[in-house]
């Protein structure tokens, strides 16, 4: 039986292409690619008046985790996390 393993080979050109395709969604926290309703108003991303913050953390040599968070004046919190692969997790409290 012949066993072979495929190693993912993401080149710098691949990463540049990914940033080109998705960069506009991360140029501003109010443009993050998600929306939700609060008090019958549709909200996109994390609004500027929610004092959004960004925290980056290196996971390993190839992965940087970025955590976004914002809070409105009533204590409503929106948080999100993204890695290099553009996988995104959003949670709303």
Q: How many domains is the chain built from? A: 1
**Run means of pLDDT, 10 residues per run, the chain, 93 residues:** 71 82 80 87 91 87 82 88 63 64
Domain contains 58: yes
- Which residues 6+ apart lie within 8 Å of 73 measured at CB? none
pTM of the model: 0.64
CA distance 15 to 10: 7
pLDDT of residue 47: 92
CA distance 30 to 25: 9
Q: Which two tokens stand for residue 31?
A: 């443009």
What residue numbers bound the domain in which 39 lies?
Answer: 34-92
Domain contains 8: no
Domain contains 17: no
Domain contains 23: no
Q: Which two tokens stand for residue 70?
A: 């914002």
Specify whether the CB–CB gap between 81 and 66 falls below 8 A: yes
């Amino acid at each position: 039986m012949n066993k072979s393993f495929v190693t993912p080979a993401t080149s710098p050109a691949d990463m540049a292409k990914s940033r080109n395709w998705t960069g506009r969604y991360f140029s501003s926290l109010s443009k993050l690619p998600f929306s939700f309703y609060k008090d019958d108003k549709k909200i996109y991303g994390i609004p500027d008046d929610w004092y959004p913050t960004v925290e980056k953390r290196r996971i390993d040599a190839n992965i940087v985790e970025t955590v976004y968070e914002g809070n409105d004046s009533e204590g409503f919190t929106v948080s999100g996390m993204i890695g290099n692969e553009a996988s995104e997790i959003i949670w709303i409290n």
